[in-house]
Structure 1
């Protein structure tokens, strides 16, 4: 079953303490950090992630671009992030698809639930991202400690002994 995660970008930025603090001085930096975090999450989890940013007061047609294999969408003029999320859920809904929407907006959660999507509270997504980061660090640490010398595992005991004698100058 394909799993899809749709994230209300500014809602998440406001809900996560690390990003909320950053947005007060550097909104673009908070957006970039969220994009980076979700790109890592997408790579590790295998979920397809769509990140929606509200451009309600910004003139234009809206845009979509891919950054680090993450789909980042900006809404059209006079379109809210909630409207874009609802439309995306409707378009993506299908057999063998499980769609999650990450937002703390209770009204939006009820609407998307009515369309067949599942809600993912912002705090739960934050916990999943932190857990994924820990697992990646553990995997890297494990690989580094277990594969100190990858060639050594391919050598016979006789060859290992021969190299050890050479190393010691014998």
Structure 2
């Protein structure tokens, strides 16, 4: 069963304390941090993640690109994130697919649920991301302590490790 997660980007930024504080300094940094967190979660969960940002914060013609293997959509002017999310749900719903919509907007939760998506409030997604991060850290620690484990990571120069990490996240090495 394929799983898709559609995230209302500015809703998460407004609901997650870390991103809320970061937004006050730089909205662009808050967006990048959210995308990074979602990329980590996508890598852990195997879900295909799409994050949608409203154009009223970034005026223009809208756009679509990939960052860290996460699909990032900016709405066109006079188009809301809710409209894009609803269109994505309609296009994705079907057999052998689960579509989750992450938003704390109750109206949008009801509309997307009516279209066949599963609801995921902002706080619940943040909890899932934190638990995934903890589980991954536990697995890494277990692997490091396993006798005969690959110790290559400890022998790599820091700049090489950083390039490999950027590459792992879908960027250029």
Answer yes or no: same fold by TM over 0.5: yes
Instruction: Please report how far the alpha carbon of residue 56 of structure 1 lies from its aligned counterpart in structure 2 after TM superposition.
Output: 3.3
* Deviation (angstroms), 1:43: 0.5
Secondary structure of the residue aligned to 1:24 is helix
- Name the counterpart of 1:41: 41
TM-score normalized with structure 2 length = 0.83
The residue that corresponds to 1:25 in the other structure is: 25
RMSD: 1.5
Please tell me whether the aligned partners of residues 143 and 149 of structure 2 are also in contact (alpha carbons under 8 angstroms). no
Once the two structures are TM-superposed, the CA of residue 51 in structure 1 deviates from its matched residue by 0.4
Match of 2:51 in 1: 51
- Structure 1 consecutive aligned stretches of length 4 or more whose deviation exceeds 3 Å: 56-60, 147-151
Residues 1:81 and 2:84 are matched in the alignment: no
1:61: Cα distance to partner? Answer: 2.7
The gaps in structure 2 that reach 5 residues or longer are: 152-173
Structure 1: runs of 5 or more not aligned: 152-170
Contact preservation (8 Å) 1:99, 1:118: yes
TM, length-normalised to structure 1? 0.84
1:147 is displaced (CA, Å) by: 3.9
Q: Provide the C-alpha distance between the structure 1 equivalents of 2:26 and 2:59, rounded to a whole number of angstroms.
A: 22
Query: How many pairs does the alignment contain?
Result: 151
Describe the shift of the 1:94–1:126 C-alpha distance in structure 2 as closer, same or farther (beyond 3 A). Answer: same
